[in-house]
Amino acid sequence: MQDVFSYIEQNRETYIGWLQDICKQPSVAAQNRGMKETADMVERFVREIGGEAEQLETSGYPVVFGQFKGESERILSFYNHYDVQPEDPLDLWHSPPFGAEIRDGYMYARGVADNKGNLMARLAAVHACLQVRGKLPVGVKFIVEGEEEIGSVHLEEFVEKYADRIGADGCVWEFGYKNADGRPQISLGVKGMCYVELICRGANTDLHSANAAIIENPAWRLLWALNTLKGPDERIRIEGFYDKVASLSDDDQLMLEQMIYNEEDTLEKLGLKSFLLDLKGIPLKEKLIFQPTCTVCGIVSGYIGQGSKTVLPAEARVKLDFRLVPDQDPHEILALLRKHLDEHGFSDIEIQSFTLEHPARTPLNNPLTRAVVNTSKQIYGMEPTIMPMSPGTGPMYILCQHLGIPAVSVGVGHFASNNHAPNENISIDDYIQGIKHIAAILEEFAKEV
């Protein structure tokens, strides 16, 4: 592979430029900003490096679908997304979120880690192989959706409509990170999600807060409702919530024990003294990987500007995400939440549901997992850490597990890439190393039996 690796090094600046170009193009699905421009740009990239490309329509943003022939029948697909999270809070960014500024070896941009860095590394790897060898060892498919950050709301529709196009022998999933000590993480699944907004309403207008003595405050009601969902012990109090949580297999236990999670570096980087509930070691890793969550992602009511305003709010809203583990079902969790609120006297609180995604897992022992693990050792010079499941979420169930396609996550982010947060970044060296890793995986996957 040294010929391909050398080519990648020689074209380092070109590949960095590709990444800057796409990062400078906003693509915020939640706000419908720059979505068409970005889909067009991805389609153009696939074409320019020698693939066939088209935009497959859905009821939402189109999926960019790319295809490259290979020497063998085996097909490797790449699942990525061209949409990004909203960039606020803006004032915490040290450079413009869509500036793609490079400082001290890191590129900063909304989406550079999640998910444009991985998308461009994979396109660059295919480009390098074709330039050097004139052909690819396996067939390649790119499935690049535009709604991952809003819960892949039309991906199920896409899978049904284009089932004949997306078949593959393995899928390299969209994300991947290095630990604080530089060790690559490979993960073999994702948590599911039930994302909801709860809305509690009071009087038909905001009122002077003197009225709060006798008029119900929807902010207090929402707080009390939330308090019935989870207390400081972190146990989710919805009846039946844990009923379908699968117990850990011996393999899971072993993977947890072997999984490397650098507690000290993580805490230092985040300015924290301890993890939640003072967890450490295996119980910490088990909670991260195998436990579902209930998270306040956003809450708002009343006056939130500078200084004081004495107002009794008319409305209060909270955004909650439940991350789910096998075999929880997001639709069932949504129904349990409704039932819980009703039974606790909060039937007036409205639920709007957003993302509903199943958890998914890939077995440890299959050709793709082996190809990714073996090449990791070559590229990074150390054993990767294998996570039995990522604490993050994605449509792996409908796109892979459901179709019997093994999916493995590996990529160019690092533990402090600030995905979904201000100053999102990746290391330029990680990006170049990630391009080489994908090139190596293409070759290795052709050989694995």
Map residues 255-274 to x or -, x wherever contact with a copy of itself holds by CB under 8 A.
Answer: ---------------xxx--
Taking CB under 8 A as the criterion, which residues in 183-202 touch a copy of itself? 191, 193, 195, 197, 202
Taking CB under 8 A as the criterion, which residues in 3-62 touch a copy of itself? 29-31
Contact call for residue 151 and a copy of itself (CB under 8 A): yes
**Chosen residue from 2, 59, 204, 365 binding a copy of itself by CB under 8 A:** 204
Contact call for residue 420 and a copy of itself (CB under 8 A): yes
Instruction: Point out which residues pair with 393 in neighbouring strands.
Output: 191
Alpha carbons 10 and 17: distance in angstroms, whole number? 13
> What DSSP designation does 65 have?
E
**Chosen residue from 77, 301, 409, 427 binding a copy of itself by CB under 8 A:** 301
Contact call for residue 310 and a copy of itself (CB under 8 A): yes
Shortest Cβ distance from residue 205 to a copy of itself (Å)?
5
Instruction: Point out which residues pair with 80 in neighbouring strands.
Output: 144
**Chosen residue from 2, 73, 89, 134 binding a copy of itself by CB under 8 A:** 89
What residue type is assigned to position 85 of the chain?
A: Q
The set of residues, in sequence order, having a beta carbon less than 8 Å from that of 290 and lying 6+ positions away, is 248, 252, 256, 325, 388, 389
**Chosen residue from 95, 209, 366, 374 binding a copy of itself by CB under 8 A:** 209
Parallel/antiparallel/unpaired status of strands 189-201 and 413-414 = unpaired
Identify whether the C-beta of residue 40 lies closer than 8 Å to the C-beta of residue 27: no
Shortest Cβ distance from residue 274 to a copy of itself (Å)?
8
Shortest Cβ distance from residue 403 to a copy of itself (Å)?
24
Nearer CB in complex with a copy of itself: 240/345: 345
**Chosen residue from 21, 245, 254, 275 binding a copy of itself by CB under 8 A:** 275
Shortest Cβ distance from residue 374 to a copy of itself (Å)?
27
Identify whether the C-beta of residue 82 lies closer than 8 Å to the C-beta of residue 150: no
Contact call for residue 226 and a copy of itself (CB under 8 A): yes
Nearer CB in complex with a copy of itself: 275/380: 275
Gyration radius of the chain's alpha carbons: 23
**Chosen residue from 90, 163, 246, 276 binding a copy of itself by CB under 8 A:** 276
Contact call for residue 115 and a copy of itself (CB under 8 A): no
Nearer CB in complex with a copy of itself: 297/335: 297
Nearer CB in complex with a copy of itself: 223/254: 223
Nearer CB in complex with a copy of itself: 374/423: 423
Taking CB under 8 A as the criterion, which residues in 387-416 touch a copy of itself? 390-393
Taking CB under 8 A as the criterion, which residues in 236-255 touch a copy of itself? none
Shortest Cβ distance from residue 234 to a copy of itself (Å)?
8
**Chosen residue from 124, 144, 316, 432 binding a copy of itself by CB under 8 A:** 316
**What does each C-alpha distance from 438 to 35, 69, 109, 189, 270 come to in angstroms?**
26, 16, 22, 19, 30
Instruction: Point out which residues pair with 387 in neighbouring strands.
Output: 187
Nearer CB in complex with a copy of itself: 24/94: 94
Nearer CB in complex with a copy of itself: 379/426: 426
Sign, Cα dihedral of 295, 155, 145, 441: positive
Parallel/antiparallel/unpaired status of strands 139-145 and 75-81 = parallel
Ramachandran area for residue 36 (φ above 0: left; ψ -120 to 50: alpha; else beta): alpha
Locus of tokens 């707080």: 223
Nearer CB in complex with a copy of itself: 65/177: 177
Q: Give alpha helix (H) positions in 75-180.
A: 117-133, 155-161
Shortest Cβ distance from residue 359 to a copy of itself (Å)?
12
Shortest Cβ distance from residue 64 to a copy of itself (Å)?
21
The set of residues, in sequence order, having a beta carbon less than 8 Å from that of 404 and lying 6+ positions away, is none
Alpha carbons 157 and 174: distance in angstroms, whole number? 20
Alpha carbons 146 and 68: distance in angstroms, whole number? 21
Q: Cα dihedral angle (141, 143, 144, 150), rounded to 10 degrees?
A: -160
Nearer CB in complex with a copy of itself: 17/231: 231
Contact call for residue 347 and a copy of itself (CB under 8 A): no
**Chosen residue from 20, 25, 179, 293 binding a copy of itself by CB under 8 A:** 293
Residue 327: is the preceding peptide bond cis (ω within 30°)?
A: yes
Contact call for residue 342 and a copy of itself (CB under 8 A): no
Alpha carbons 390 and 388: distance in angstroms, whole number? 7
**Chosen residue from 35, 119, 168, 312 binding a copy of itself by CB under 8 A:** 312
**What does each C-alpha distance from 27 to 109, 146, 173, 292, 307 come to in angstroms?**
12, 8, 20, 30, 34
